[in-house]
Structure 1
Amino acid sequence: MSRTRTHLLALLLASVTVVAGACGGPAGSSTAASTSAPTSPDASTTSIAPDATPSAAAVADDGESPASPVVVARTAAAVEVFAAPGDATPVQTLPATTEFGSARALLVESAVDGWLEVLLPTRPNGSTGWIRLDGMDLHTVDHEVVVDLTARTLTVLDAGVVVLETPIAVGSDESPTPTGRFSVVDKLDTGAADGPYGPFAFGLSGHSDVITEFAGGDGQIGIHGTNDPSSIGQAVSHGCVRVPNDVAATLNDLLPLGTPVTIL
């Protein structure tokens, strides 16, 4: 683990009471703010209509794979976001759930005196904001995803150890998959394994740089299966990352909400 991540984790663990038990997702340990311990939102898959799965392209601008573990803040309530720690007036409020009904899960970047800097699921990609630690349910996540656009591969690491690698399809020249750092904000059961998104889709915190609306959504990018296996290995998508359907099912088992995703 990097020195920065070690320091962040130490700060957070010093600020909260460790709670034994499940983390509300398929991976990671859990902590909860000592001043408030809301019920942990379920990090399992959310069922949606087949045509409601997110699609398009985009991503952040860091380009550096995160160290493991990372810290994720979850809550069952709406989240006020501030421009700086200690501010009195929020600049925006995130609903308790995403547009697809997933529990809110925010990747923590830093912590200062009862405040958390988190990666926001908004434009522009890579935006961060500050939220109050009070009322947040904190989890550590050991898994991370690295997407290599040149090699057209997706790799899953668990505490830095490769546990899965697969060929993928990426965005076309007209709608490229952007590079940067994101997190998983939606886990969706499409209800149509033979549909264009395969059995499962994972909405990311980023948005397309060239698509502002797609299938009724705001150009959110994601990782999902496909009904066109021949597309794997090609640059043919609207910016999303396509994986074989069996891999999509495995990702559904491995990745909790908040899992960091680096696209290189």
Structure 2
Amino acid sequence: MAPIRRLAPQIVAVVALGATCAALHDVRPARAAAPATQRLAAIERPHDVFVRPTRGSPRLTTLRAQRPITAARTVVPVVGEALDEQGARWLRVMLPGRPNGSTGWIVATATRATRTSWRLRVDTSARRVTVLRRAKRVRTFRAVVGARATPTPHGRFFVEETIRLGPRRVGAPFALALSARSKVLQQFDGGPGQIALHGLRNVGGVLGTAASHGCVRLSARAISWLAARIGPGVPIDIVR
């Protein structure tokens, strides 16, 4: 896992997806047993994203090679693969930003294949975060989840980047910025309403309650444990 980089001033990342992103396919949270590992693709250069695995299909957006807050390498889960008529290999990958849970197709060139054995699961009803490794439960943490008016979005997402926050920052000491965005807050604190797992420092909240603006708050010990182990691309299922 790459070293954690220090944050510039804001937690949220600006990821602007065009209106055509509504054409992307949704990926729903799985209730079946989690796989032992998840296939990932590290993005070595910017990639155009298409509706189908052919350059003749509508272009949806551009997948950047680096994340906007830490400049960490972009790593996305791979959920499909195909060959086009010319024999070029394409990957169907999960995308950050709105609409939540979107996927699209990119050419496989200038990507690096990798895998992760980690997976996170947030249960908003139980208000707990479960950590899985090779489909086996490793740890469970109590959490603060979104309030009724600003709920934590449900679906299948992934970690975009791990951010170290200074002691005076809201949510310190760490934040795991997710591909999910709030369905209620189009903007928050100068950003696009990005959902994150983060600490309680300078924001508070009682573990086991529903009181946040949509993010998942954890104790300093829990978020520090996660930040030391969970890197970009790790899948996270947020369920009821």
TM-score, reference length from structure 1:
0.77
For 1:151-162, what aligned pairs fall within 5 Å after superposition?
Answer: 151-162=126-137
Question: Aligned partners of 2:42, 2:68: CA distance in 1, in Å?
Answer: 16
**Of the candidates 44, 47, 71, which is equivalent to residue 76 of structure 1?**
44
Q: Distance in 1 between matches of 2:156 and 2:60?
A: 22
Aligned-pair Cα RMSD in Å? 1.8
How far is 1:224 from its partner? 0.6
Aligned-partner SS, 1:109:
strand
CA distance in 2, matches of 1:230, 1:125: 26
Partner of 1:44: 3
Q: Is there any run of 5+ residues in structure 1 with no aligned partner, and where?
A: 1-24, 26-42
User: Is 1:103 the equivalent of 2:73?
Assistant: yes
Tell me, which stretches of 5 or more residues in structure 2 are unaligned? 14-25, 84-88
Name the structure with the higher helix share: 1
Task: Note if contact 2:12-2:177 (Cα within 8 Å) is conserved in structure 1.
Answer: yes
1:252 is aligned to 2:227? yes
Deviation at 1:87, TM superposition (A): 2.1
Q: 2:157 aligns with which of 182, 200, 221?
A: 182
Distance in 2 between the 1:170 and 1:159 partners?
Answer: 26
1:220 corresponds in structure 2 to: 194
Amino acid of the structure 1 residue aligned with 2:151: P
**Which stretches of structure 1, 4 residues or more, deviate above 6 A after TM superposition?**
none
Q: CA deviation at 1:102?
A: 2.6
Q: Are the aligned partners of 1:168 and 1:243 in contact in 2 as well (CA < 8 Å)? A: yes
Please report the TM-score for the alignment, with normalisation by the length of structure 2: 0.85
Larger proportion of strand: 2
Q: For 1:97 and 1:142, locate their aligned partners in 2 and report how far apart those are by CA, in whole Å.
A: 22
In structure 2, distance between residues paired with 1:188 and 1:123: 21
Asked if the contact 2:43–2:110 (Cα under 8 Å) also holds between the matched residues in 1, the reply is yes
Q: Counterpart of 2:63?
A: 94
Deviation at 1:117, TM superposition (A): 0.3
Q: What is the aligned residue count?
A: 217
Q: How does 1:187-198 map to 2 (within 5 A)?
A: 187-192=162-167, 195-198=169-172
Contact kept? 1:190, 1:200, Cα under 8 Å: yes
